[in-house]
Chain A
């Protein structure tokens, strides 16, 4: 086997077509990885600036406050999801779903759906990242490398002679194809490995990613091999293979996406906002007890302190913000569940399309998939809840205002 591989390596060195595809794969991989690293670094730099400016802005806002309610009203808090150390390989949802928010003590449902995303054209066209390269382009390159192994020998009129001289056809074609698949895999992976070293991605993740790349190429190799058994001209073979690629990479995912989204409708986002706004605004005109009762149900510890005597009190104000969120909670939960449900279905259906499967697997490793985005939103919710508990403990028992205590304000921790 080794001898036949070195023999094939000598042949490959003269096959300009094959060398071109292999060089192209390497160049594209270098481009994808370097753009990925540049983007991830820019996002990290943005976050670093934001963290700093956010703290300065909060300190500034708090410095002029004279009561707890005002301090809660004017202090914004940055929440963010930093890119993982493997995010350079798959930008995933980070172009279409927001990964940074500034929230405050008001009703969260009015804030959490804000989308501070990039240029809409980016999300529409998509980026050239490593996941796209391996999932969509690498199979095409593999097809172009392998489809005319036999046919090119036929064209050169060596085919029958070759088959007659070697003992079994397998020992002729197998090393030749193996070398090409192996070459493609290694040339794709080297830039990824270098990128992973620069970014400090964990070896486990890199190993899994490499296994996915190799596994995907093997699947496509099998497909090419099966189709190539058909006795047809190389151009018919190539046409059929590209047709198969189209079906698996474009048509199947598109149909599945449409079907999944039709089967799992998400509640209209406008309704969440509308209901939340109506609840919060109506509260101004309702008897104060109508707000305080549902509030106390959620936070029984403040029952004693929930009597409102004056026309305006901060605790009443924050209570109806809270009740606004409580009212839309079922809808918001539905929205979240439907997204997760769609993602679960997409995960199942992606078994039908190697392209979808590879992209999803990479997004999962890079933590840029829908699950990671929902998890980020959950962290925002948890943090907002911490904020509420912190402020309620000051606002409800009528603790005397003491700016020093604001130093204990909950801090957003992206790794929690």
Chain B
């Protein structure tokens, strides 16, 4: 073991003497520090802002005066998704999806005002986050540091001496691996600090630790690939060129081609497209605004029988409220069916994308990173589902109040004159039906469960890359 440490120490001495290596490491360290501080500040601002907006939206809803209950159905409400604590490291899809959604009767709106829509467009990678630095730049640093670590001994002739002294290729490789591992360990520090900070913001230790472990795995994979290349290839420039190609392929080409491929393989219709199909079905259900619509005849017969009366005027409840409740439930069933279908297709696309992790560890770490941080597509879908539940609950509670608290005759005469309009209102107390909405990240166990596939792929990569190193080191000859 002491031999490995000696070799590693020698490696460090050489690195510290090389201006290129020191400069590269320093630049990356500065970038990491700057990006982390900027992202932490930005996410903290958004967190506070969205929480405040959520509370303010609830307060304005509660503060509405006495009104006709259906007015409140259209007045609507907002759901906001504050970024989870680990978004300080991995903001994920939040920038693309938009983080607020307007909730109203008879409609499921999409999340609006995504940051990217109003962003300054400077091409492909313009937004840097701590996560993307770890995914893209640190492998390059490892390549610059390590591409010649082994073959240098060959070039300078020291390899022959070392082997003659009884050292083996495996022992030498172990020493080089120790050196690379120490570099990886040092560059894990910023991530560990950010993860620890997210724990102080309320993140679970399990999720934060898994994220750190995932990135450690990822960097070790690159370390092993770099080491293997430096053992197998005999010229520096070729080793560097080959490694740069591997990086180009894994970090830049495969992820984007995977997006093209999954978009081409699974056609997920947009909202408008599925809305149009749905609208045709909805028309069969009848329009909830018009209680005289023929589609409600069956419902009417049933309700009249239930209350044992002849006409809707005799009902002890407000028929228009009954119709509104009924049609909202029917429509929501339909809306949810189409929304679920759309989300399932999108999830299928993302699963296919994750499988491309087998061709690029960068995809595997990026997916695990978003899943563990709770900034992945699945979390966005859960936000859509939960805000939909919130919407349905308050709309139905208001429709219920419409049925029980507002007299039918008063309701029918509401447009006669100002006094009738005044009479067709219910007490503002009824607005208290709105539930408090605080969007929470999934539990750490759930997130870890979701990240099983990409984390498994990372482990597979590490196993293959390290056995490759062992195989290469075993057959080292002068």
User: Does A53 belong to the interface (CB within 8 Å)?
Assistant: yes
Interface string of B77-100 (1 = CB under 8 A from A): 010100000000000110111101
Residues of A within 8 A of B23 (CB): 243
Q: How far is the CA of A132 from the CA of B263 in the complex (A)?
A: 17
Note all chain A residues with C-beta closer than 8 A to B349: 119, 121
Give the interface segment out of A7-15, A296-304, A346-354, A387-395. Answer: A346-354
Cα A246 to Cα B279 in complex, Å, equals 50
Contact, CB under 8 Å: A360 / B123:
yes
Query: Do B421 and A311 touch across chains, with their CB atoms under 8 A apart?
Result: yes
Interface residues on A, range: 35 or more
Contacts of A102 in B (CB 8 A): 272, 275-276
Q: Give B254 Cβ to nearest chain A Cβ, in Å.
A: 9
- Is A260 in the interface zone, CB < 8 Å from B? yes
State which residues 230-281 of B face A: CB under 8 Å: 235-241, 244-245, 248, 252-253, 255-261, 263-264, 267-273, 275-277, 279-280
Q: Quick one: which of A122, A137, A144, A273 has the most chain B CB within 10 A?
A: A122
What are the residues of chain B within 8 A of A342 when measuring CB–CB? 118-120
* A128 is an interface residue with CB less than 8 A from chain B: yes
Contacts A151-B237, A257-B120 given: A128-B244 contact, CB under 8 Å?
no
Does any Cβ of A come within 8 Å of B144's Cβ? yes
When the two chains form their complex, are residues B259 and A100 in contact, meaning their CB atoms are under 8 A apart? no
Q: Give A158 to B338 CA distance when docked, in angstroms.
A: 69
For residue A329, CB closer than 8 A to chain B, the reply is no
Q: Do A335 and B118 have beta carbons less than 8 Å apart? A: yes
Whether the pair A338, B122 counts as a contact (CB closer than 8 A) is: no
- Given the complex of chains A and B, what is the CA–CA distance between A105 and B260 in angstroms? 37
Tell whether B164 is near chain A: CB-to-CB under 8 Å: no
- Per-residue CB contact flags for chain B residues 388-428 toward chain A (1 = under 8 Å, else 0) read 00000000000000000000000000111110110000000
Q: Which residues of A contact B53 (CB under 8 A)?
A: 270
Given the complex of chains A and B, what is the CA–CA distance between A60 and B283 in angstroms?
9
Q: Tell me the complex Cα distance, A312–B144, Å.
A: 74
Contact A120 to B128, CB < 8 A, known contacts A256-B122, A261-B119: no
Residue on B nearest A287 in the bound complex, by CB: B418
| A268→B269 CA distance, assembly (Å) | 29
CA distance A311 to B415 in the complex (A): 4
Question: In the complex the two chains form, is B113's CB within 8 Å of A270's CB?
Answer: yes
The chain B residue sitting closest to A140, CB to CB, is: B248
Closest A residue to B343 by CB, please name it: A119
Measured in the bound complex, the distance between the Cα atoms of B392 and A214 in whole Å is 57
Query: By the criterion CB–CB under 8 Å, are A46 and B273 in contact?
Result: yes
- Of A164-172, A277-285, A403-411, the one with at least 4 CB within 8 A of chain B: A277-285
Over the window 355-379 of chain A, the binary record of Cβ atoms lying under 8 Å from chain B Cβ atoms (1 yes, 0 no) is: 1101110010000011001000000
Nearest-neighbour CB distance to chain A for B377, whole angstroms, equals: 6
Could you list 28 examples of A-B contacts with CB < 8 Å? Answer: A31-B260, A42-B267, A50-B276, A53-B273, A93-B117, A93-B121, A96-B114, A97-B117, A115-B98, A115-B110, A115-B111, A124-B92, A127-B256, A128-B257, A128-B260, A136-B252, A137-B253, A140-B244, A152-B237, A234-B240, A250-B125, A253-B123, A260-B120, A266-B118, A273-B112, A277-B76, A281-B71, A311-B417
- Name A's B-contacting residues (CB within 8 A): 17, 28, 31, 35, 38-39, 42, 46, 49-50, 53-54, 57, 60-61, 78, 92-93, 96-97, 100-102, 110, 113-128, 132, 135-137, 140, 144, 147-148, 151-152, 155, 233-236, 238-240, 242-243, 246, 249-251, 253-254, 256-258, 260-261, 264, 266, 268-270, 273-274, 277, 281, 284-285, 310-312, 335, 338-339, 342-343, 345-346, 349-350, 353, 355-356, 358-360, 363, 369-370, 373
